[in-house]
Structure 1
Amino acid sequence: MNLTGKQKRFLRSEANRLTPIFQIGKNGLTVEMVQEFEDSLENKELMKVQLLQNTDWTATEAVEFIEENSDITVVQKIGRVLVLFKPSDKEKYQRYSSRLPKSNHS
């Protein structure tokens, strides 16, 4: 999903008060783990993931892997924390996607 700068800013501000709910550790990042992120985002839409000190993955590598293996958009990378977004298909969970600023292209 291509988000505008304005939409990414909105999501980053919403993510400020979130705490990471997944951690990427010494076992690294797998397709199965990315699937868990997607499943979790179905009813959250926005979440943080933290890379632990004992992982061999850099934040940049993790971003590329997540975006290549899913429909998740990484809206922010701060140090070892990633902010992930994926709009929910279920209307009752569209807490963020329903409030995204409209893009000028639509």
Structure 2
Amino acid sequence: MLTGKQKRFLRAEAHHLTPIFQVGKGGVNEQMLRQISEALEVRELIKVRILDNCEEEKHDVAEALAKGTRAELVQLIGLTVVLYKESKNNKKIVLPKVEKK
């Protein structure tokens, strides 16, 4: 689970990214989830665009993407979903540490 500080950090990191996947009329499917999982392993942080012709609710699509890829939903802004999953082999992003009180 990400803290607010970590989510802010990831949103800033994702700002310059362009979406590399699109969810369209067919919605979320197994093949898409597999490809997104592979991309997350390589990049750790990605954007996914929900197209206007997608018949599902955008919040449902974002939740399905996060749950199906076991990733953290960083942000849903407009029709753009930002996902983060720590890579096992290609760790690049260092999250801010959680401060203990």
TM-score by length of 2: 0.92
- Structure 1 counterpart of 2:61: 62
Report matched runs for 1:1-106 at 5 Å.
2-90=1-89, 93-96=90-93, 99-104=94-99
**Cα offset for 1:85?**
0.5
CA RMSD of aligned residues (A): 1.2
Unaligned 5+ runs, structure 1: none
Alpha-carbon separation, structure 2, partners of 1:70 and 1:47:
12
After TM superposition, the score normalised by the length of structure 1 is 0.88
Identity rate, percent: 42
Q: CA deviation at 1:74?
A: 1.0
| Structure 1 runs of 4+ with >3 Å offset | none
2-side partners of 1:33 and 1:40: how far apart? Answer: 11
Q: Which moved more, 1:5-14 or 1:66-75?
A: 66-75
Q: Distance in 1 between matches of 2:67 and 2:15?
A: 25
C-alpha separation between the residues in 2 aligned to 1:67 and 1:23? 14
Q: Please, which runs of 5 or more residues in structure 2 have no aligned partner?
A: none
